[in-house]
Amino acid sequence: MRRLSIKSLIALVDQELIPIKDAVIDISDDEVIGIGKIPGSNNVVDLGNVILMPQLTNAHIHVLDYFLMDLFNKYYIDDVVGAPYGLKYYYLRKAKPESLRNGLAMVFRRIRSYGIGCLLSIIEYGKSFTDIVIEEARRAGLCIVPLAEPSVFRTYVRPNEEEDVNEEFEDEIKYFVDRGFGISLISPLNYTMAELKIASKLGGSRGLPISTHVSETEDTYSDGDLDRALSTLMIGNTVFVHLTQLNDGDIMRLPMLPVVTCPRSNMEFTGKIPKISTMIRRGLRPLIGTDNVALVEPDPWEEIKLVRLLMRGEELHSINILKMLTSWAWSWGFGYIMREGELMRGLALQVGYEGVDINYVHDYVITRISSMDVAYIINGSEILKVTT
């Protein structure tokens, strides 16, 4: 048994990210066994002038399009990464998984260096690419929740097709859930009602997450994608992504489920971000994702700065923005908090000033911290120095 006590200037603990000054976290093997001010072991590591907080969760990312980043600004972005007819889909249909291994390894190392612990990754053409994505993410030290996407989808569902089920679609969904993968659906508009129900039933019966983009654009919103999702996908652990176009009334009738917003991607694609403060009033505990690597650098620190700026005057407190990256994700089963009995998955942020007032620490993290301040990643009793 390896015991260790980690000292920091301020630690943000428990679900409420409560700041404790001169905190000591006692760790035994992989687990937090005590939080206080006096070390519970002789083996004390003082990390110095750092803020210690849980590793972050990036709740929505497409990693398989990194090789298209050069096309950014050369073509209309929807033609590059848009589903299902963007260039991404065209290339991935032809790509050999091995040809992407080195590139993926670099993407995941970069993601890890930002302090991400848990990653919900969409994997297009899931049957071909899920294994390699999982392997490379784990090699970088990430906990990955793979969301495998079937290769079959429809441009448009005619009213008389709603009961149809494409056999290949059903086979691939079965293949995914048999392997314990979550499921990614492009949008409720790209499958029949019967297909949506099958995905929901198969994923839900194994407790696997099902992710779908909902109301990202005005078109998908006016085509009624939200109602299709609500009437078919509510059995499993459904994750709704974007919801950019929803009004307050739509948000207030959402059931309690994990919703993910991708602020920079939403600004690039649609020029606005969803009503996050209404989501919080509704009690939804929203999460943050960075969406397409081809389009947006997967750096969560940039994401939260933008959220704060765009939501000025909307009663969105810094602590809630931080919870979107940490404890709210944990509350849905996708991330970490620092509490006795939990896995120790910590992140030490270097403070570049003399100190930080304990009442200012959440604002400090939101407004001042950037990826260059991520100093250490703590996994159980292992302390890893972050090098970029």
Report the distance separating Cα 295 and Cα 70, nearest Å.
Answer: 9
Report the distance separating Cα 173 and Cα 190, nearest Å.
Answer: 15
Q: Between residues 5 and 121, which has the closer beta carbon with respect to Zn ion?
A: 121
Q: Between residues 49 and 245, which has the closer beta carbon with respect to Zn ion?
A: 245
Stretch that binds Zn ion, among 112-120, 127-135, 198-206, 285-293 (CB under 5 A): 285-293
Contact predicate 140/108, CB 8 Å: yes
3-state helix, strand, coil in the chain (%, to 5): 40, 25, 35
Contact predicate 98/136, CB 8 Å: no
Q: Between residues 237 and 265, which has the closer beta carbon with respect to Zn ion?
A: 265
Stretch that binds Zn ion, among 13-21, 166-174, 284-292, 360-368 (CB under 5 A): 284-292
CB of 61 to Zn ion, least distance (A): 8
Stretch that binds Zn ion, among 9-17, 246-254, 288-296, 307-315 (CB under 5 A): 288-296
Determine the distance from the C-alpha atom of residue 231 to the mean position of all C-alpha atoms in its chain, rounded to a whole number.
25
CB of 109 to Zn ion, least distance (A): 22
Residue nearest to Zn ion (CB): 291
CB of 221 to Zn ion, least distance (A): 16
Tokens representing residue 19 in the block: 């700041």
Stretch that binds Zn ion, among 2-10, 138-146, 289-297, 310-318 (CB under 5 A): 289-297
Contact predicate 128/176, CB 8 Å: no
Q: Between residues 121 and 192, which has the closer beta carbon with respect to Zn ion?
A: 121
Whether cis (ω within 30° of 0) applies to the bond prior to 274 is: no
Stretch that binds Zn ion, among 45-53, 131-139, 291-299, 316-324 (CB under 5 A): 291-299
Q: Between residues 121 and 381, which has the closer beta carbon with respect to Zn ion?
A: 121
Q: Between residues 124 and 291, which has the closer beta carbon with respect to Zn ion?
A: 291
CB of 60 to Zn ion, least distance (A): 6
Contact predicate 92/64, CB 8 Å: yes
DSSP string, 292-358: ETTTS---HHHHHHHHHHHTTTS---HHHHHHHHTHHHHHTTSS----TTSB-EEEEEE--SS---T
CB of 80 to Zn ion, least distance (A): 13
* Residue ranges binding Zn ion (CB under 5 A): 291
